């Protein structure tokens, strides 16, 4: 099943661009030099022609290639609000966590995870286990995959509880000095500040002094004049 789809990606390969991408991402894997808009168009067409089991199967095969564009395309295949049933897609996405080793691939996979968590918020019980992982990228995924809870303008009571729960995870990350972890805290807080500034102000007043300066600054980007 994999070959014809991988061939479609390879048809757009640009070796010079691939070398630039390899230098930029600094992770040792093949880079074909295919632009994201091309992958968007390809995966959109594939989603329309394949049923859910076939999409999950193809996504799994593309991920296993370890090709940068293959992994990005795998994530894009599963980045869709409505996938029914979606348990197999969620299980596949979770199985990728140990392979996360670079922000671009991880972020695309987390975007797919966002859709599955929004579809079934009870999965946050599983995500909570990620927060204590020995694997930095898995810990980071707990924040990036839950970004939908920063964006509701009119959250329901259950969503406010989930928002506070995830803020608790962020607070537990504050002592972690890893740049990517600090960045994930800042990203979550910055996005939340657009919709719920009071919670972010309270968080920063309590934990901001212990965050890395760059993360504290980014978290409060939209709160100038409102912090203590």
Distances in Å between the alpha carbon of 40 and those of 19, 56, 65, 81?
21, 17, 18, 15
Which residues, including other chains, have CB under 8 Å from residue 166's CB and lie 6 or more apart? 124, 142, 143, 146, 149, 188
Kindly report, residue by residue over 59-109, the tens digit of the pLDDT: 999 999 999 999 999 999 999 999 999 999 999 999 999 999 999 999 999
Cβ atoms < 10 Å from Cβ of 121: 16
Residue 228 confidence (pLDDT) above 70 = no
Percent of the chain's residues with pLDDT above 70: 100
Among 76, 95, 144, 89, smallest CA distance to 120 is for: 89
In angstroms, the CA 107 to CA 111 distance is: 6
Kindly report, residue by residue over 1-14, the tens digit of the pLDDT: 899 999 999 999 99
Compute the chain's Rg from CA coordinates. 19
For the residues 152-158, what does the mean pLDDT come to?
96
Which is more confidently placed, 154 or 227? 154
Distances in Å between the alpha carbon of 146 and those of 102, 121, 200?
18, 10, 16
Kindly report, residue by residue over 14-44, the tens digit of the pLDDT: 999 999 999 999 999 999 999 999 999 999 9
pTM of the model: 0.96
In angstroms, the CA 95 to CA 97 distance is: 6
The mean predicted confidence, pLDDT, of the chain is 97
């Amino acid at each position: 099943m994999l070959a014809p789809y991988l061939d479609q990606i390879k048809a757009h390969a640009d070796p010079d661009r691939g070398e630039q991408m390899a230098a930029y991402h600094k992770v040792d894997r093949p880079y074909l030099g295919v632009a994201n808009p091309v992958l968007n168009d390809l995966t959109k067409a594939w989603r329309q022609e394949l049923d859910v089991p076939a999409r999950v199967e193809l996504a799994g095969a593309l991920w296993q290639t370890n090709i940068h564009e293959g992994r990005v395309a795998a994530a894009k295949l599963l980045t869709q609000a409505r996938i029914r049933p979606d348990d197999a897609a969620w299980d596949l996405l979770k199985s990728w966590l140990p392979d996360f080793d670079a922000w671009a691939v991880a972020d695309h996979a987390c975007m797919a995870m966002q859709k599955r968590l929004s579809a079934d918020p009870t999965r946050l019980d599983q995500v909570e286990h990620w927060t204590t992982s020995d694997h930095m990228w898995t810990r980071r995924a707990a924040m990036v995959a839950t970004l939908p809870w920063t964006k509701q303008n009119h959250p329901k009571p259950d969503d406010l509880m989930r928002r506070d729960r995830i803020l608790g995870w962020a607070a537990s990350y504050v002592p972690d000095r890893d740049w990517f972890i600090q960045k994930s805290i800042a990203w979550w807080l910055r996005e939340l500040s657009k919709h719920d500034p009071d919670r972010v102000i309270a968080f920063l007043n309590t934990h901001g002094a212990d965050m890395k300066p760059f993360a504290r600054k980014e978290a409060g980007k939209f709160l100038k004049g409102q912090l203590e």
